[in-house]
Amino acid sequence: MSRPLRLALTYFALLALLALTVGSSFLPLGFGNTAANLVIAALKAALIATVFMELRSGGPLPRLVLGAALFWLLLLFVLSWIALRGV
């Protein structure tokens, strides 16, 4: 698959996910809406990172940095949760 084609397909996938996230917000799913939205957002981010930002080529260092950032964000959220809201 040529790169421009891959870029275009990714773009359309992103638009589809946008439609999905907006559309699903009209269904009364309670907390399921938030969960679905966050999962879809994560999927979009993953597509942008792997395809547009070429995470898979370009050596291991960018992936290491991304991993570190995600780990540190997790740390921030989990420990803050414990500190501020108990368990």
Partner 1 sequence: MTVAAPDRSTYFAEGAGLRSWLLTTDHKRVAWLYLVSLTFFFFIGGAAATLMRIELVTPQGDLLTDDAYNRLFTIHGIVMVWFFLVPSIPATLGNFLLPLMLGAKDVAFPRLNLASWYVFVFGSLFTLYAIIAGGVDTGWTFYAPLSTVYANGHVSMAAAGVFIVGFSTIMTGINFIVTTHKLRAPGQTWFRLPIFVWTLYATSLVMVLATPVLAATLLLIVLDRLFGIGIFDPAKGGDPLLFQNLFWFYSHPAVYIMILPGMGVVSEVIPCFARRPLFGYKLVAYSSIGIAVFGFLVWGHHMFVSGQSTYAGVVFSFLSFCVAIPSAIKVFNWAMTLRKGQISFETPMLYALGFVGLFAMGGFAGLFLAALGIDVDLHDTYFVIAHFHYIMVGGMVTAYMAGLHFWWPKLTGRLYSEILGKIAAGLAFLGFNLTFFPQFVLGWLGMPRRYHTYPPEFQVWNVLSSAGAVVLALAYLLPLCYLGWSLFRGARAPGNPWGATGLEWRTTSPPPEDNFAIPPVVTGPPYAYAPDVTE
Partner 2 sequence: MSDIPVSKAFADTERETEADRFGMWIFLATEAMLFGAILLGYFILRLKYHDAFAAGSSQLSLPLATANTAILLTSSFAMAIGAETARSGALRCAHRALWATALLGAAFLAVKAYEYHDDWDKGLLPALGVFHYTGPNAGEMALFLNFYLASTALHATHLLIGILMVAFLALPSRLPTPRRARRIESVGLYWHFVDIVWVFLFPLLYLVQR
Which residues bind to partner 1, rule: CB under 8 A?
A: 61, 68-69, 72, 75-76, 79-80, 82-87
Question: What's the longest Cα–Cα distance across the chain?
Answer: 51
Binding-residue pattern over the window 57 to 76 for partner 2, x denoting contact by CB under 8 A: -xx-xx--xx-xx--xx--x
Closest CA to 42 of 80, 77, 14, 82: 14
CB 78 within 8 A of CB 85: no
Q: How far is Cα 51 from Cα 57, in angstroms, rounded to an integer?
A: 10
Binding region for partner 2 (CB under 8 A): 3-4, 7-8, 10-11, 14-15, 18, 21-22, 25, 28-30, 33-34, 37-38, 40-41, 44-45, 48-49, 51-53, 58-59, 61-62, 65-66, 68-69, 72-73, 76-77, 80, 84-85
